[in-house]
Amino acid sequence: MDGREGRLKWFNIDALPFDEMWEDDQHWCRLALEGTRLEGWFYFSGDFEKLIEHRIQVKSPQNEIVS
């Protein structure tokens, strides 16, 4: 499927094409795939042309809810 972000493709998790992905993906994607809880802020110029600033806050593991 084609869209603004490109064509949907599957990749091996160890061979993600970060150079073809949105610029912010290289900062948070690996953490998320490792199961890290995070909150991120990514600021782009214009119409998402260039990442100009970012901040990632790693969150503590979520407590399990016991019923």
Range of the domain at 20: 2-58
Q: What is the pLDDT of residue 7?
A: 79
- pTM, two decimals, is 0.72
Judge whether 30 lies within some domain. yes
What does the DSSP assignment read for 9-37? ----GGG--GGGS-TTHHHHHHHHHTT--
Judge whether 64 lies within some domain. no
Q: What is the pLDDT of residue 53?
A: 97
* Integer CA distances (angstroms), 51 to 10, 12, 32, 54, 63, in order: 25, 25, 19, 8, 33
Judge whether 66 lies within some domain. no
Number of domains within the chain: 1
For 4-58, the pLDDT digits (tens) are 767 788 999 999 999 988 899 999 999 999 999 999 999 999 888 899 999 999 9
Judge whether 26 lies within some domain. yes
Q: What is the pLDDT of residue 61?
A: 83
